[in-house]
Amino acid sequence: MHSFSLRKRLVLVAILVLIIALGLVGFALSAANYQGAVSSMQARMESYVYLVLAAMEVTDAGTLEMDEDFSDPRLTQAGSGFYIKIQGQEQSWHSASAVGRSWPRLPQVLAGTMSFAEPAATSDAFTLQYGVGWQLSEGSIEPFTVSVLVDKEQVLQQTSAFRLGLWQSLGTAGVILLVAQMVILYLGFRPLRQVTLDVARVESGQASRLEGRYPVELEPLVRNVNRLLETEKSNQTRIRNALDSLAHSLKTPLAVIQAGLSRQDSTLQNAVDEMSRLIATRLERAGSSTRRSLAEPVEVEPQLQRIVDSLQKVYSHKMIQAGFTLEEKLAFYGEKRDLLELLGNLVDNAFKYGKHRVRVTGGALEPESSRPGLQLQIEDDGPGIGESQWEGLLKRGARGDEQVEGHGLGLAIVTELVTAYGGEISIGHSELGGALVQVRIPPS
Amino acid sequence: MRVLLIEDDLRLQETLTTHLREAGYAVDVSADGIEGLYLGEEFPIDLAVIDLGLPQLPGLEVIRKLRSKGRDFPILVLTARSEWQDKVAGLEAGADDYLTKPFHVEELMARINALMRRAGGHAKPRIDLGPFMIDLTGQRVFRDGKEIELTTYEYKVLNYLVMHPDEVVTKTDLGEHIYEEDADRDSNVIEVFIGRLRRKLDPDGTLNPIETLRGRGYRLALVLAA
């Protein structure tokens, strides 16, 4: 099961943090802007109060008279959004802009006090009220309340324009920050991707350790991976050497037993044969590396030439004519000793049973693969192998006494080896007249 | 024929020596590479059986050194290492054949016989020599299909002559290749063997199969059939 990807985690957290942070900033700024707009409006409304007070006159009879020659068109134009009303005890005045507007119920305000209200459920306008007491000549005081109303749209127009601009710029900033975050992630994760690629190269055998230059933070990881690789390699060598020496040290005592047995002791002879066969097919193979991925490619032709030269010497009296047709630069992606083992056993059988001719044909399997497989055919002009024996010869781990004499041991070793490489082996009839053994090892 | 056996496992060395002597070979034995190399260089060896895993000097080195000193007798490698990379290395070092441990003694004897024959220029285990037929495997000699009974030493002398056709073989050669190092060698004994062999092979004195070259030695006088 995968844990959530690091990149996704980081991007997700970044998005959340950006939304929360930019959102808070946005709300704070737009609130501050609103407050600013409201208080500047309040100041403006106060100045209207003084403007109106300056234009107001009360006669000695207590009658309110207005000099309506306002230079401010907002007070004269109907529906301008700015409305002023002066209320006395029995008389009132309102600005020309307020013609046709219905007035909310406005309370009287004590002289000398000022009250300010923002739009609320009862009113959709900003309201500023100022109470004045007008001293008449007779000495009595006539109370008036000057009310200034401003439609809330007057303020909201301003603030909503600001808010739109604000969110646009915050959005742009958010996008820029996100892109920057992606770039940072990409650059930050690049060494990790490099490590992943390098580990894959080690796994596929193109490198034996992590070699590149990595950032300081990754160095401990790289160091430990390399140490692990080395430990594993030396363990493998140790196990292999231990098994090898066990296999070899068993053989000399076996040779002593066998040399001491008389020809009549067939039960003991069989037991010794069986043991040596097991040592050759199992114990000696047990230590071999199955990590063919690490092996360097081995060119087939020189190794085949070595085997053929050696066998020509051993079978010099037979004057075998050995020919081989191999694809140019045909290579085996595995251990050299395994290739020698495979060729040695099969070509040895061919020399042993062939009368005059031995032929080896080879080609690559899936040559376009980075580590192609190998296909080999070994033929001779000997008596061949009967079809009834094919299955028995290729059965893995068949007992010694089930093996067909002669071809048996070599084929058993090769079968064991080819299986370890995930390949297959088959027997057939050669057009030369004898046996044909075909080996196919898939790409690694 | 004289065989050098270099094998460090004393039990195996002992058993093989017994088998080789029973088969009529003179055997020189060594348990380590340095002594073995010395024997191979200094003694008139006809064939060597060399184990690869030797103390002091590895078998491969012994073979290389023998070959570089111009010693060209057949060498059979005996090895616990059954892998082909080891077999090929042995053969490339100069060995002529190999046998993997454990092995059947009969197989070893057959290989030694075959190597000896090939070194003597004989491809087949039966040699036709005028009216004589020598069966190298069974170590028997026939004249016109009738077996001639020979003692071990008489057979050894005949065998050596057959393996060195067209060569003058001295009494010293014969002594050295028939007896082991520590045996008491007397050239008169060789003369006795030659005399008995002539009488048994050619009782009526018409064929004269072995000729004497005065002061030099003996030579097989019959032409080998191809």
Angle at A332 between CA A329 and CA A335, to 5 degrees: 135
Q: What is the pTM of this model?
A: 0.61
Does B100 score more than 50 pLDDT?
A: yes
On whether any CB of chain B is under 8 Å from the CB of A195, the answer is no
- Residue A68 structure tokens: 């309506």
Q: Mean per-residue pLDDT for B34-48?
A: 91
Q: Mean per-residue pLDDT for A360-379?
A: 88
For chain B, the first-to-last Cα distance in angstroms comes to: 23
Does A416 score more than 60 pLDDT?
A: yes
Do A345 and B101 make contact, defined as CB atoms within 8 angstroms?
no
**What's the pLDDT score for residue A171?**
92
Q: Phi, psi (5° rounding) for residue A159?
A: -70, -35
Torsion on CA atoms B7, B8, B9, B10, rounded to nearest 10: 90
Selection from B22, B220, B214 nearest residue B112 by Cα: B22
pLDDT > 70 fraction of chain B, expressed in percent and rounded: 94
Highest mean pLDDT among A115-119, A312-316, A359-363: A359-363
* CA A196 remoteness from chain centre: 10
Does A1 score more than 60 pLDDT?
A: no
On whether any CB of chain B is under 8 Å from the CB of A255, the answer is yes
Q: Which residues of B touch A251 (CB under 8 A)?
A: 80, 82, 100-102
Mean pLDDT rounded to a whole number for chain A: 84
Using alpha carbons, list the distances in angstroms from residue A265 to A261, A272, A273, A404: 6, 11, 12, 20
**What's the pLDDT score for residue A401?**
42
Selection from A434, A386, A437, A380 nearest residue A414 by Cα: A437
**Whole-number Å distance between alpha carbons of B186 and B183:** 10
At A173, the pLDDT band (50, 70, 90 cuts) reads very high
On whether any CB of chain A is under 8 Å from the CB of B55, the answer is no
Chain B stretch 56-95, residues whose beta carbon is closer than 8 A to a beta carbon of chain A: 80-85, 87-88, 91-92
Selection from A305, A339, A283, A341 nearest residue B86 by Cα: A341
Nearest CA in chain B to A336: B85
Q: Mean per-residue pLDDT for A66-83?
A: 84
Do A343 and B84 make contact, defined as CB atoms within 8 angstroms?
yes
Nearest CA in chain B to A256: B12
Do A256 and B87 make contact, defined as CB atoms within 8 angstroms?
no
By the 8 A CB rule, do A115 and A106 touch? no
Question: From the list B12, B87, B98, which residue is nearest A252 (CB)?
Answer: B12
- What is the predicted ipTM? 0.71
**What's the pLDDT score for residue B184?**
65
Do A259 and B19 make contact, defined as CB atoms within 8 angstroms?
yes
**What's the pLDDT score for residue A282?**
76
**What's the pLDDT score for residue A66?**
84
Domains in chain B, ordered, with CATH?
2-119 (3.40.50.2300), 126-220 (1.10.10.10)
- The residue among B123 and A406 whose pLDDT is bigger is B123
Question: From the list A248, A313, A336, which residue is nearest B81 (CB)?
Answer: A248
- Chain B closest-CA separation from residue A404 CA (Å): 17
- Domain ranges in chain A? 6-158, 205-287, 288-441
Q: Mean per-residue pLDDT for A85-103?
A: 85
Strand-strand pairing, B97-100 and B75-79: parallel
Chain A stretch 266-305, residues whose beta carbon is closer than 8 A to a beta carbon of chain B: 269, 272, 276, 280, 284
**Residue to test with chain A: of B52, B83, B116, B122, most A Cβ within 10 A:** B83
Buried b (16+ CB within 10 A) or exposed e, B39-63: bbeeeebbbbbbbbbbeebbbbbbb
On whether any CB of chain B is under 8 Å from the CB of A313, the answer is yes
- Chain B closest-CA separation from residue A207 CA (Å): 25
Q: Phi, psi (5° rounding) for residue A180?
A: -60, -40
Question: From the list B97, B98, B102, which residue is nearest A254 (CB)?
Answer: B102
Strand-strand pairing, A82-87 and A141-151: antiparallel
CATH code assigned to A288-441: 3.30.565.10
Using alpha carbons, list the distances in angstroms from residue A194 to A7, A188, A200, A215: 16, 11, 10, 11
Does A405 score more than 60 pLDDT?
A: no
At A293, the pLDDT band (50, 70, 90 cuts) reads low
Do A284 and B83 make contact, defined as CB atoms within 8 angstroms?
yes
Do A337 and B105 make contact, defined as CB atoms within 8 angstroms?
no
Q: Which residues of A touch B23 (CB under 8 A)?
A: none
For chain A, the first-to-last Cα distance in angstroms comes to: 27
Q: Mean per-residue pLDDT for B195-221?
A: 84
On whether any CB of chain A is under 8 Å from the CB of B126, the answer is no
Q: Mean per-residue pLDDT for B167-185?
A: 77
**What's the pLDDT score for residue A291?**
52
The residue count of chain B comes to 226
pLDDT digits (tens, 9 = 90+) for A123-159: 788 999 999 888 888 888 888 899 999 988 888 888 9
By the 8 A CB rule, do A324 and A300 touch? no
Q: Phi, psi (5° rounding) for residue B167?
A: -125, 150
CA-CA-CA-CA torsion sign (B222, B223, B224, B225): negative
**Residue to test with chain B: of A314, A343, A413, most B Cβ within 10 A:** A314
Q: How many CB atoms lie within 10 A of CB A58?
A: 18
**What's the pLDDT score for residue B63?**
93
Nearest CA in chain A to B82: A280
